[in-house]
Structure 1
């Protein structure tokens, strides 16, 4: 019998320490609800769980993004409903003014209402916005151009002067100049050439309207030749039917007009890939965008009113096309939201299996450790009492 080292007590104390540590972990898991509270609990499981959490939170926000997109589409579509109604009323007025029983004064009264409706269409386009983003007036941002100087820019993107990627609407008039200047339409073309009417290069942008007012030495025929040689479109004096509308007048200016549109890109995924974006383009629905600015139904005869009927019909068709596109995007976004919510639900379930505490299993383990802890304490007390027998030998 020895008294310096109580091996029985030491063993009991060691086992009690292990039981207490295991009991503490069970308590932590039960109180937090997670079986992985630190990397040491399950290094691989933690890594997988965090990747799933990234996807879950990203997809949840993507679903909210898609919902915001639906709200923006509904805002634009609601405004276009009113534009449609106003155009239908304008059509009624144009048909009315086309009747031979109408006098010149009668047509003036009709013209007054048409003017008011055109103004209201402009107001709707100028004021309809969602979260400070104007939806119907296009994008009128442009870089300044110094008078008398042609700035270098690429027509394919028009980054410096007119952003083609934004489809910005504007009309730029350039006074006639002589001598050399830089005009670069596509990469690789020589710069510093002289515009003498013999060399005019066509841009590679589509669906643009170019009005060329004859300068002193520039010739419309040269523009046609350049378009023909580009092998993309065939130029005519009036309309090539594909990409360019050309008109020749007798002024000393060149005018470039670009169709207006605003592009919205909705991010509807957890990753940065391009297929996680839904792009939406809304044409300018202003009076100028619908080509009803200055619409005339007045006059001594029905000429103006008859022409206005066709103009209004084109405007109605443009609004109908835009509303149809908005409706299609809205339906797509609704399906997108349903899919995102489904993925979030299933991924959350998978992440829960990895990270969440199984309360029943952990309670069994906790109860077992609790019993072992009580037994360990009792055995430690008994081990400490064993050395008390040595005292009887000293009596």
Structure 2
């Protein structure tokens, strides 16, 4: 039956062109953005998974940054303790030297001058060593906690005690080497102070090692998660380019068929002549 009010062939062609135009638009968007899933309509499940992975990756990367900051902080603390240890070693040498029976009281007082200056500097280091305005060695903070993962509770804590020369710290503030007896007492106190610093440095070193291993692990997890997210979210250019070429060919064919369908209606005019 030949009719002109309803051109079914033309309607089919129009619908095909609309559907194909949407597919072409999607392919062009994927190619221009580099992202396969640009909205929920593209892949609702993929979008949800991709967003979750993005949150995970950003959390992991921030944890890596936190730990690197923590490593730098602890290295600062240990560097200060190395200087304290060097000073204590020099103080120990002076104490041993002062215990030589050939020295007079006046000569011992000269040795004690350097001894007291070093003692004061050890305490100054404990109060002046800071990182981001936090004093590290005076026990004002005590426990330093670093976020070591993307989730709550994934932390690493390092305790730093009082590294000052007072009674709660290295306990050498009242020592002197101006007499033989005082030198002997100071020698014992200095030996104990050195042991305290060695123990604290061991604690810090273990903490730094743990944080470095944690950084390596988090970086590995982040890299794998990034690769997985890329598989889900990123455009496969070979596939998208093929899809675009396909839709362009179909669009050209549909346009030609629409023209043919409209031409059929023109044939009815020939019957009216």
1:316 matched residue in structure 2: 194
**2:252 aligned to 354, 371, 374, which one?**
374
Deviations 1:32-85 (A, max 9, x none): 111111112222222222111111110111111111111011101111111001
Higher strand share: 1
- Partner Cα separation in structure 2 for residue 385 and residue 349 of structure 1: 53
State the Cα distance separating 1:394 from its structure 2 match. 2.6
Residues 298-329 of structure 1 deviation map (CA, whole Å, 9 limit, x = unaligned) = 13xx1111111000000011111111111111
CA–CA distance in 1 between the matches of 2:261 and 2:155? 71
- What's the counterpart of residue 392 of structure 1? 270
Structure 2 counterpart of 1:33: 34
CA distance in 2, matches of 1:103, 1:266: 54
Give the match's secondary structure for 1:298.
Answer: coil
- Name the counterpart of 2:221: 343
Q: Find the aligned partners of 2:237 and 2:6 in 1 and give their Cα distance.
A: 42
C-alpha distance in structure 2 between counterparts of 1:94 and 1:333, whole Å: 39
SS of the equivalent of 1:2 reads coil
Counterpart for residue 296 of structure 1: 176
Matched with 1:265 is: 145
Matched residue SS, 1:265: strand
Distance in 2 (alpha carbons) for counterparts of 1:128 and 1:43: 53
Unaligned runs of 5+ in 1: 140-165, 167-261
CA–CA separation in structure 1 for the residues paired with 2:220 and 2:126: 37
Q: Secondary structure at the match of 1:12?
A: helix
TM-score if structure 2 supplies the norm length?
0.96
Which has a greater percent of helix? 2
With a CA cutoff of 8 Å and minimum separation of 6, indicate the structure with the bigger relative contact order: 2
Give the deviation of 1:93 after TM superposition: 0.6
Whole-Å separation in 2 of the counterparts to 1:380 and 1:92? 102
1:80-117 Cα shifts (integer Å, max 9, x gaps): 11100100000011111111111111111111111100
Q: How does 1:352-371 map to 2 (within 5 A)?
A: 352-371=230-249
| Mapped partners of 2:91, 2:218: distance in 1 | 44
Indicate which of 301, 309, 332 corresponds to 2:210.
332
Deviations 1:182-207 (CA, angstroms, capped at 9, x unpaired): xxxxxxxxxxxxxxxxxxxxxxxxxx
Moved beyond 3 Å, runs of 4+: none
Deviation string, structure 1 residues 103-149 (Cα, Å, up to 9, x no partner): 1111111111111001111111111111111111111xxxxxxxxxx
Q: Which residue matches 2:72?
A: 71
Instruction: Kindly report which structure 2 residues correspond to 1:1-395, keeping only aligned pairs within 5 A, or say none.
Output: 1-139=2-140, 262-273=142-153, 276-288=154-166, 289-299=169-179, 302-395=180-273
**Cα deviation code 1:307-352 (max 9, x no counterpart):** 1100000001111111111111111111111111111111111111
Q: Deviations over 1:209-261 (max 9, x none)?
A: xxxxxxxxxxxxxxxxxxxxxxxxxxxxxxxxxxxxxxxxxxxxxxxxxxxxx
Return the offset for 1:283: 1.1
Tell me by how many angstroms 1:393 deviates: 2.3
TM-score with structure 1 length normalisation? 0.67
C-alpha separation in 2, matches of 1:393 and 1:338: 83
State the alpha-carbon separation in 1 of the partners of residues 126 and 9 from structure 2.
90
Residue-pair matches, total: 270
